Structure 1
Amino acid sequence: MRQNIIALELQVLYEISRVIGETLDLDETIGVILRILGEELSMKRATVTLQDDQSEKLLIRTSHGLNDEEIRRGVYNLDEGVTGRIFRTAKPFVVPDIAKEPLFLDKTKSRRFEKDKVSFIGVPIMLHGHPIGVLNVDRLFGLDVSFEEDIRFLTIVATLISQMVNIQRQVRAREENLRLENVSLKAKLSQNYQRFFIVGKSRPMARVLQLIEKVAPTKATVLLLGESGTGKSLIARIIHELSDRSNHTFTMVNCASLPETLLESELFGHEKGAFTGATDSKAGRFEEANKGTVFLDEIGEIPMNIQVKLLRFLQDREFERLGSTKTRRVDVRIVAATNKDLEAEVAAGRFREDLYYRLNVFPILVPPLRERKEDIPALLNHFLDKLSKEYDRRLRLTSKALDAMVRYDWPGNVREMENLMERLSIMTDGDTIELSDIPSFFFHKTDVPMQRPPELASLEDIEKHEIIAALERNGWVQSRAARELNITLRQIGYRIKKFGLEGVVAERRGR
């Protein structure tokens, strides 16, 4: 009898050894092992219960003889029932008759219709001297074989399972290391990344870099906060490039530049006839960017009724096109940006509080130039290098001009600086940018002592340059420039037309 048992055990272990290593799918391999135990040893039921990393509860990972509903019921606290005791004590446990054992909870309800006596055995699954789970089975070898034989054999099987768990953990750790290395490699290769951070060595920008690298590989919604011109749209693109969505679409929607109906259609799409001019059905940006990233710039300007629809989308990734009742679902990541204080907007009733919390999952505050003045010289050289390729000459700043640039507060931030350097590249005759070459209106909010250059000889010239400067500082968005200048949208539109700036505004907004 003993020889027959040993021969049977060897046969089962041989079958198990054949399946181990054929796949790295832990659940699939354990499922095959339990099936072999069931077929070769007439075992009716078995479960492998492992500790969940997040909940720390014991969950049935794989089973034999249980249906899906029974598996879902198999959740145990570490001090609960027979399974909890085996895990806590790291020792086998035998139940000769489950009907007479108070510790046997039958939480799966898989044995409630059993009429015959059922014996139950469990052994801990140990790894590096600590329990990681439990292997439970109905008795294997029958009444004429001792429980010790069952325990001895199951301990061998549990050891094999623990080694598979260990291998899977090592594979996952290696995959995570490779993923992080891939993110780092993408960062090195990304031109946008280089462009943004090669000239941002200050402590505030180092913090931004750290946050970008942490959030980029995740699925989290990101909210970029900061003044106009600080580079929020560039950061949004970098986050996309460093994510696993980089091979899919990145699309940007400026929520301040479209009227309400057009903005809703732009985001969610519309059906033919949904509104005047809707001659065809059209997919929105969310549909077009499926599997990719949608960047919602100026999110603080979004109208209240669209906020409701956007909230639902952020919660469920579901929406309907304008004029349609068909619910659509897409997988996109949202990165939003604003230069507004959204908490103040919520308090004022202009922005939904629930939408704010949905957007504010991972906020990144992008510092203005005046808070990282040590970056200014490198930024200026970066733009001069870039422009030298476009205009085929390399300009340099005198020490006085550089000092003025560093002391300037740059209300339009990096965007204002880039625009100024391009203008100076066009206007400067020689190879040196002098203090007098810099238009005085760039310094009207600072204490930099300067004389008004001769080109600003009339009030009309001054007004024209003020309009251009305000537009540059505000990304060529007329409504925002008008607010800064404390004039109406109609008034700034009149001045743009008066000074013949329509083409310039259209070109800059199109960039």
Structure 2
Amino acid sequence: MQTTVPKKQDDTIHNSNPDTLAIEIQALYEISLLIGSAVFFDKTLLEILRVLHDTLHMERATLVLLDHTGERLIIKASYGLTKEEEQRGVYGLGEGITGQVFRTCAPFVVPDIKAEPLFLNRTKARDRIITKERLSFIGVPIILAGKPVGVLTVDRLFGPEISFEEDVRFLTVVATLVAQFLNLHQAIHKKEESLLEENRSLRAELHGRYARHNIVGSSKAMHEVLLAVEKVAPTRATVLILGESGTGKELIARAIHQASPRHERPFIKVNCAALPETLLESELFGHEKGAFTGATARKKGRFELADGGTLFLDEIGELPLSLQAKLLRVLQEQQFELLGGTQTITVDIRLIAATNRDLNMAVDNGSFRADLYYRLNVIPIVIPPLRNRKEDIPLLAEHFLRESNRQNNRNVRLSKEVLDLLMSYDWPGNVRELQNLIERLVIMADENYIQPSDIPSFMLRTPGLIPNTEAVETQTNDGPRQIQQIQKTTLSLCEIERRELEEALRQNNWIQAKAARVLGLTQRQIGYKIKKHGITIPKHKA
């Protein structure tokens, strides 16, 4: 026996049992609160069905919705069904009672499911029910914008005091609330999709400016570097990063680590030029207690700390010969002993090294082992100096300007004239020099726009020019052509370096540490260059 309940009901709410009416109002109130404060879609649907069970003692309840294909009905939420039973609840658009309610947009009541051939019991949930009472089934359509989008169903243990019409009317109101909730959810979903698409578009637009791996640059040279990073990162190969001081070798090393399977393990760095030989050996390999004076406890070295991760050896060209043999053994065998110890320690590390030296020349003059060089130089990555990728200067300047403004609570901008000056400068200290300059300009700026007068004087002229003359014809304002002597410039690289170094020292009151930061050098490197070029520090500054 089956009962189809018309969509238009003659009964009014006033004909309901007062006790039942109060319970229904309480249930609708709780459902309205759930929808009004909903955060999670699926959880809210489940809570709505729980209210039906707790307040009106309806048994199994399901919300059946169209799937993404629009060709099937699936159980989106249920109360009283297991996960396996939910997964079995799949219906065609006109299949069974659920499909008929969806197709006709009309409520459907089955007074006794045992006597209804259309009742499919596809979930098999009723097979585990043992009861002598009559189990009934009610389904009402969920309609949105005049079209069916799903079906709300409940099981009911009916007695003589229960009215089908009252339940259908109440469930129809609940289905209407659910439809409005679905509408709100769809609107939010579309908005989120729109924002995600906008975000993807912005990322694509900025991809050229800010490249990948948080490295700023859109030049062809940097694009090739980043392609090499992406190719080598998933491997275990040793990488040798080559480039002048200040070009960003450590950033590239970090990018390789972050893009590798080891990204959740340590990234340990050591500057081989920053420590004397005796301390460097202990720093790299660690030491046992009592290995030397002051060794009061066992200390792990950087190789041991980097186990499972990446060890970055910067300025590898400065590594003393006595340590090069120990490094070669670790690379080949992944084993070493602590200073003053006898126990062999095995580690799993990926080594990345960097240098601004010509290691080929160092091998030729005997200051660097050939076997270590070949072991390090498995995958070489050469970072171009800033003067060879000047198209990146505006992007880098804007990036450093934004960071410095944020850190110093300023809102300083670069004038076009200043940007032109930055583009014309050769940047011997590379990206680090540009970063330091921008930070200094932001801090020292008196106005919101940095002007050419704020730029250090040594950047406004080409130092060390040797005058030479060349005759050219020019047109004067008076009309006749005249022969003028135009200065032609010739300059050696050694002279450029000496003049830049001397000018940086003078601009920083002959304080070597400050001049080194401006030029992107270490204190050890600037001391070497001062000695190399025979620059005399004034006695009162020495």
Residue 318 in structure 1 maps to residue 316 in structure 2 = no
Q: 2:348 aligns with which of 324, 328, 331?
A: 331
SS in 1 for 2:247: coil
Query: Under a length normalisation based on structure 1, what TM-score does the superposition of the two structures give?
Result: 0.54
Residue 479 in structure 1 maps to residue 496 in structure 2 = no
Tell me what 2:415 maps to: 398
The residue identity in structure 2 corresponding to 1:268 is F
| Aligned-partner Cα distance in 2 for 1:360–1:288 | 24
**Cα offset for 1:468?**
5.3
| Aligned-partner Cα distance in 2 for 1:254–1:438 | 32
Tell me what 1:214 maps to: 231
SS in 2 for 1:328: strand
Q: Conserved in 1, the CA contact under 8 Å of 2:512 and 2:523?
A: no
Tell me what 1:369 maps to: 386
Tell me what 2:484 maps to: none
The residue identity in structure 2 corresponding to 1:381 is E
Tell me what 2:280 maps to: 263
Tell me the alpha carbon deviations over residues 356-413 of structure 1, each in whole angstroms, 9 at most, x when there is no partner.
0000000000001000001111111111111221222332222221111001010111
Q: Conserved in 2, the CA contact under 8 Å of 1:441 and 1:465?
A: no
| Aligned-partner Cα distance in 2 for 1:474–1:273 | 41
CA RMSD of aligned residues (A): 3.2
The 3 A distance-change label for structure 1 pair 461 and 312 is closer
**Cα offset for 1:276?**
1.6
Q: Conserved in 2, the CA contact under 8 Å of 1:229 and 1:414?
A: yes
Tell me what 1:246 maps to: 263
| Aligned-partner Cα distance in 1 for 2:453–2:240 | 40
The 3 A distance-change label for structure 1 pair 490 and 404 is closer
Tell me what 1:160 maps to: none
SS in 2 for 1:484: helix
Unmatched 5+ residue regions in structure 2? 1-202, 466-502
Structure of larger gyration radius = 2
The residue identity in structure 1 corresponding to 2:524 is S
| Aligned-partner Cα distance in 1 for 2:519–2:347 | 33
| Aligned-partner Cα distance in 1 for 2:229–2:327 | 24
Tell me what 2:429 maps to: 412
* 1:450-461 mapped onto 2 (5 Å cutoff): none
Q: Conserved in 1, the CA contact under 8 Å of 2:313 and 2:351?
A: yes
The 3 A distance-change label for structure 1 pair 377 and 490 is closer
Residue 195 in structure 1 maps to residue 208 in structure 2 = no
Q: Conserved in 2, the CA contact under 8 Å of 1:319 and 1:329?
A: yes
Q: Conserved in 1, the CA contact under 8 Å of 2:437 and 2:518?
A: no
**Cα offset for 1:195?**
3.1
Tell me what 2:498 maps to: none
The 3 A distance-change label for structure 1 pair 217 and 377 is same
**Cα offset for 1:287?**
0.6
The residue identity in structure 1 corresponding to 2:358 is D
The 3 A distance-change label for structure 1 pair 426 and 459 is closer
* 1:489-504 mapped onto 2 (5 Å cutoff): 498=541
| Aligned-partner Cα distance in 2 for 1:221–1:331 | 13
Q: Conserved in 2, the CA contact under 8 Å of 1:478 and 1:489?
A: no
| Aligned-partner Cα distance in 2 for 1:263–1:219 | 25
**Cα offset for 1:275?**
1.4
Number of positions where the alignment pairs a residue of Structure 1 with one of Structure 2: 300
The 3 A distance-change label for structure 1 pair 469 and 277 is closer
**Cα offset for 1:306?**
0.2
The 3 A distance-change label for structure 1 pair 461 and 226 is closer
Q: From the two aligned structures, give the one with the greater helix fraction.
A: 1
Tell me the alpha carbon deviations over residues 325-384 of structure 1, each in whole angstroms, 9 at most, x when there is no partner.
211110000000000000000001000000000000000000010000011111111111
The 3 A distance-change label for structure 1 pair 404 and 330 is same
**Cα offset for 1:498?**
4.8
| Aligned-partner Cα distance in 1 for 2:273–2:391 | 32
SS in 1 for 2:236: coil
The 3 A distance-change label for structure 1 pair 235 and 327 is same
| Aligned-partner Cα distance in 2 for 1:279–1:228 | 37
The 3 A distance-change label for structure 1 pair 460 and 212 is closer
Residue 229 in structure 1 maps to residue 246 in structure 2 = yes
* 1:5-404 mapped onto 2 (5 Å cutoff): 193-196=212-215, 199-404=216-421
Residue 424 in structure 1 maps to residue 423 in structure 2 = no
Q: From the two aligned structures, give the one with the greater strand fraction.
A: 2
| Aligned-partner Cα distance in 1 for 2:352–2:536 | 33
| Aligned-partner Cα distance in 2 for 1:294–1:383 | 27
| Aligned-partner Cα distance in 1 for 2:514–2:458 | 8
Query: Under a length normalisation based on structure 2, what TM-score does the superposition of the two structures give?
Result: 0.51
The residue identity in structure 2 corresponding to 1:419 is N
**Cα offset for 1:441?**
2.8
**Cα offset for 1:289?**
0.9
